[in-house]
Structure 1
């Protein structure tokens, strides 16, 4: 269990999970007369209730009750995180201590083998949730399997943890709050491109979706970001390699205007007139073109300007051919764009 008390608030909250399911169960709470009360409430019915008091400064003791009348004593003590380590910091947060515990219990199993461009793809599942994902199969080189499968496993773990954490206050987390679908978009002797589509509702006003593209070096296992591949100016940088301010400056000054110009040369975007109720103004560089989705495909790179959820109907994907991008290839990217 994780208990959060902010600024001496009388409305703390908590989350807990069972070792056999690993799925988050959120709790709303109160604090009165030195007693914490945490409840799971669905449709105005209290499904579970923890009543806890702090003892010995670090421990909690009390009871748990449910709507069916069951009751158990509860004793909580701080977790020693000495044995909870993670090597996933290059893929996901993983300084979240709550999730470090879940990593200890994940179990992956090979489910099936498929083929893409005559290459074997092994698909794996995880015991506690429904998040299928792939690894490179037998007819890839041993070097590729060793380097790339380690990266693919980290991506798989990231998605698994996301589903296990995806809970709402109105229902128990059954693992159905988020789904993933992976599709291959590019493969040659050196590079593997794929995309992961996610459809999720983890609380809040609306469900949402997202698509992320990946490009992985089959020789080294490097997971390329877009700025590793395309450079519209020598000041190109990645957020990890430099300061966030430098990344934003490059995006605003060079990336957004140049990408827009390339796409607009074919699309001929028009700015809405003052009397038109048209929110999808794709001529607004500062709003939509600085942070975009991208997917590396056989024909070029697909770019999708980023719109907020309320304007998601405006979202459209544009394919820019490798031929148009060749002269903007990052000199540090050692492969041809084709």
Structure 2
């Protein structure tokens, strides 16, 4: 059995800080549930964060929590009204047991034990595997065919996921068997990751309905070698500030590789050498070469002018907004979207640069032409 709880302590000259994490599975009455408990301790206080979900729902429920006299108390309190509460005791081998109560005081027994993660396997990106309960959710995802569409006379099959609002596509019947075998697992993983984001989108203010992230995916480019598409999302997961964003993909139909913008465009040879091993080097390339060159190209098309003093118009002439752009590969060229501070996010819009203006900057390692 893999280790199923983690204890991490840091010792300073005056204080000690410890973090202990429990990953648990078991029953609430007859329902199967999964829970994560994180305990933070220092010399002055103990604090907890807790999340759980039902196997038949998979949607996170984020609980407020306290630990007193060896009793773990978890409760959900939307609109300052407690709708459910757990009282649990930790026993031998990190087994937890106790009771759950609803708002009317109805009581059900709770039995939890450490998760054996060897029962839960996935091909998730390491970023998503950091949240270990994602491995559990992957086992219970169910995708169902919804519709078929055409793009450049090629068929795309769209699927939804049973537990939440999460739609995405796969290659259809008139793609080659080789393309489908190579690419559909890549597309399925993207769909899984989008679904996990939706299922994990929760707050202590209200129960999740699996709709906290509104989004859509649009196919924007297709030839015999490359598939380009864009995902756009608006999310409100209970934080102080809802947010939005887009993400562009360019996938090689022959290899399954997903190209980043620096794989496609290189404004300096430094980005064509071995991948930057640290963020500072990558950031230097973006600020020194990428942003000013890209801005010059787009300005030659859009004729940006710096706003006058007192004019609160969007300042597209500021190179800092072009360091870490969003991008989308389309039939006519590449669309670039600058990144503005949160208070100016309404300034974000896409600007199309035709392939002709980018050809001389093509990364020599990119195996295809820009067209």
- Point out the more displaced range, 14-23 or 242-251: 242-251
Task: State the match for 1:316 in structure 2.
Answer: 349
Whether 1:85 and 2:121 are equivalent positions in the alignment is yes
Q: 1:156 aligns with which of 191, 195, 198?
A: 191
* Superposition TM-score, scaled by structure 1 size: 0.94
Aligned residues: 335
Whether 1:165 and 2:200 are equivalent positions in the alignment is yes
Distance in 1 of aligned mates of 2:188 and 2:86: 36
Give SS of 1:68's match: coil
CA offsets 1:1-47 (integer angstroms, 9 cap, x no match): 10111234433120000000100000011122222211001111101
Paired residues of 1:10 and 1:32 also in contact (CA < 8 A): no
Q: 1:217 aligns with which of 229, 235, 252?
A: 252
Distance in 2 of aligned mates of 1:212 and 1:278: 27
Paired residues of 2:335 and 2:352 also in contact (CA < 8 A): yes
Whether 1:272 and 2:291 are equivalent positions in the alignment is no
Distance in 2 of aligned mates of 1:316 and 1:285: 15
Distance in 1 of aligned mates of 2:162 and 2:274: 34
| CA positional deviation for 1:240 | 6.5
Task: State the match for 1:61 in structure 2.
Answer: 97
Distance in 2 of aligned mates of 1:43 and 1:188: 52
Q: 1:328 aligns with which of 355, 358, 361?
A: 361
CA offsets 1:161-218 (integer angstroms, 9 cap, x no match): 0000001211111111112211111111111111111121011112222111111111
Judged with a 3 Å threshold, the aligned counterparts in structure 2 of structure 1 residues 289 and 87 are, in CA distance, closer, same or farther, namely same
| CA positional deviation for 1:95 | 2.8
- Point out the more displaced range, 191-200 or 307-316: 307-316
Paired residues of 2:276 and 2:282 also in contact (CA < 8 A): no
| CA positional deviation for 1:83 | 2.4
Task: State the match for 2:73 in structure 1.
Answer: 37
Distance in 2 of aligned mates of 1:175 and 1:272: 42
What are structure 1's unaligned runs of at least 5 residues?
Answer: none
Q: 1:283 aligns with which of 314, 317, 320?
A: 317
Distance in 2 of aligned mates of 1:237 and 1:245: 16
Task: State the match for 2:222 in structure 1.
Answer: 187
Give SS of 1:236's match: helix
Give SS of 1:170's match: coil
Paired residues of 1:59 and 1:78 also in contact (CA < 8 A): yes
CA offsets 1:64-107 (integer angstroms, 9 cap, x no match): 101132211212221111222322226x4223211111011111
Distance in 2 of aligned mates of 1:246 and 1:198: 29
Q: CA RMSD in A?
A: 1.8
- Point out the more displaced range, 152-161 or 68-77: 68-77
| CA positional deviation for 1:248 | 1.1
Paired residues of 1:225 and 1:238 also in contact (CA < 8 A): no
| CA positional deviation for 1:269 | 2.6
Distance in 1 of aligned mates of 2:301 and 2:361: 18
Q: 1:134 aligns with which of 169, 183, 191?
A: 169
Distance in 2 of aligned mates of 1:133 and 1:304: 23
Whether 1:255 and 2:329 are equivalent positions in the alignment is no
Give SS of 1:5's match: strand
| CA positional deviation for 1:290 | 0.8
Runs of 4+ residues over 4 Å off in structure 1: 237-241
Paired residues of 1:27 and 1:169 also in contact (CA < 8 A): yes
Task: State the match for 1:7 in structure 2.
Answer: 41
Paired residues of 2:41 and 2:47 also in contact (CA < 8 A): no
- Point out the more displaced range, 9-18 or 182-191: 9-18
* Superposition TM-score, scaled by structure 2 size: 0.86
| CA positional deviation for 1:309 | 2.6
